[in-house]
Amino acid sequence: MRLGWLAAGVAMVGLMGSDAVAADKYKIFLSMSYIGNDWQAEAANMVKAMADHASMRDKVDLQIQVAGPNAQRQIQQINAMVQQGADAIIVYPISPTALNQVVKNACDKGVLVFAYDSVITEPCAYNTTIDQDEAGRKPAEWLVDQLGGEGKIVVITGVPGTSVDTARTAAAKDVFAKHPGIEIVAEGNGMWSQAVARTELSKIVATHPWSEIDGLWMQAGCFTAASMQDEAGIADADKKPCAGEGSNGHRIQMLPIGTEGIEGANGTYRPMGYPSISYASPPYSGALALKNAVAKLEGKEIPQLTSLPLPLYTNDEIKLCTEGTWAEMQAGCNVFQPALVSNPGWFGSIYSAETPEIGLQAALVGQPEN
């Protein structure tokens, strides 16, 4: 995500949170840390769309602040949010432990703190997340099986310091360590970004050419890996299996060659039967955290941990969304027409039965369902 886009969004939401806002609205802050990837942009869109839904807009004054990958700055911002009279803070924590004291201080002052995707270990915090160990382990097991327990692999990790990256990477490496025939020949930090993944992979293939790589485990970047192999002249049938993220481009690539009904596909954003498994941290987690925070403020019981199901699909489980409607997603589609979603790095696991307020337009542009 470009900083300019977010700055505009912050300005817009800041206006929403001006003195003109009715005094009886809940003052809720969104505290974001690292924002340099498609997932964070999409998650922010969905939080804003939830706040703007007809069921919420008369209840919620939402304001957004961005700390970047700096725990101290996020601590300072959370302190300021409490001083400004926050009722609740929705937070993507840059660290599972660094925010504990400021979160406890917020709780002691009656402020609810809801983390999404990445967790906070302070007991008073509410966490909304998938099983991140499972997200690392299951794709790693799939890759080992694809390679018959032997092969040279590349590992691309995520944003360092977050509970998400730490848990996934540790779980995957634990799987690989149990198979002595699997060798990690190179590792890079992809920051959950297709662009950064390309930079890291470019460095790796300069010293470990594709002919010396048998498979890839990537927290984000399988779309990029397939694209780079295309650019290197590697045929679809010879592409290296990739265990990775739920980006729309990757899932389109997973569809069989010649899949009918695809509109707008071109270049590497096309069906190629790319041997893969696709998991996702659903970007609706922040929006669900906001919804649960409002419910808690209204007196409803909310568990400290909201555990989300892990979307996990192999090639034969990818199902095309031709229109992107709520009903279509409810029926089980999990990848969107390139004509609907032009950005291949955009994440496709946006459906939850618990969040009917938000759908495709929420994830794309922050617009709620009717």
Pick one of 3.40.50.970, 3.40.50.2300, 3.40.50.300, 3.10.100.10 as the CATH number of 132-279.
3.40.50.2300
**216: helix, coil or strand?**
strand
Q: For 167-216, what is each residue's pLDDT tens digit?
A: 999 999 999 999 999 999 999 999 999 999 999 999 999 999 999 999 99
- pLDDT number for residue 280: 94
Q: What span, in angstroms and rounded, lies between the C-alpha atoms of 193 and 107?
A: 33
| Mean of pLDDT values over 224-242 | 97
Q: Give me the chain's average pLDDT, please.
A: 93
Convert the pLDDT of each residue in 102-133 to its tens digit: 999 999 999 999 999 999 999 999 999 999 99
**Residue 290 pLDDT class (50, 70, 90 cuts):** very high
57-87 pLDDT tens trace: 999 999 999 999 899 999 999 999 999 999 9
pLDDT at 17: 42
Q: Is the pLDDT of residue 21 over 60?
A: no
Which residues face 307 on adjacent strands?
129
| Closest to 348 (Cα-Cα) out of 243, 215, 247 | 247
- Measured CA to CA, the distance from residue 164 to residue 363 in angstroms comes to 21
Cβ atoms of 135 and 148 closer than 8 Å: no
Phi and psi, residue 217, nearest 5°: -120, 115
DSSP 236: G
pLDDT score at 23: 64
Q: Which stretches within 188-344 are classed as H helix?
A: 194-207, 222-231, 248-254, 285-297, 326-330
Contact 11, 3 (CB under 8 A): no
Query: Strands across the sheet with 126-129, in order?
Result: 60-66, 26-32, 88-91, 112-116, 126-129, 305-307
Architecture of domain 3-130+282-309: 3-Layer(aba) Sandwich (3.40)
Mean pLDDT, rounded, for 211-222: 97
Per-residue pLDDT at 146: 98
Pairing of strands 60-66, 88-91: unpaired
pLDDT band at 36 (very low <50, low <70, confident <90, very high): confident
The reported pLDDT for the residue numbered 18 is: 40
Q: Are 252 and 269 in contact (CB under 8 A)?
A: yes
**pLDDT tens digits, one per residue of 311-323:** 999 999 999 999 9
pTM of the model: 0.92
- The residues of the chain that CATH labels 3.40.50.2300 are 3-130+282-309, 132-279
Q: What is the mean pLDDT of residues 146-156?
A: 98
pLDDT greater than 80 at residue 3: no
- Residue 257: its H or E element: none
CA–CA separation, 61 and 82 (whole Å): 14
pLDDT of residue 2: 30
Residue 162 has pLDDT above 60, yes or no: yes
pLDDT surpasses 50 at 368 = yes
Question: With the CA atoms of 239, 243, 276 and 137 taken in that order, what torsion angle do they form, in degrees rounded to the nearest 10?
Answer: 140
pLDDT band at 6 (very low <50, low <70, confident <90, very high): very low
Q: What is the Cα–Cα distance from 187 to 154, expressed in whole angstroms?
A: 6
Percent of all residues in the chain with a pLDDT value above 90, rounded to a whole number: 91
Q: What is the DSSP string of 117-163?
A: SS---STTSEEEE--HHHHHHHHHHHHHHHTTT-EEEEEEE-STTSH
Q: How far is CA 23 from the centre of its chain?
A: 34
- pLDDT band for position 230 (50/70/90)? very high
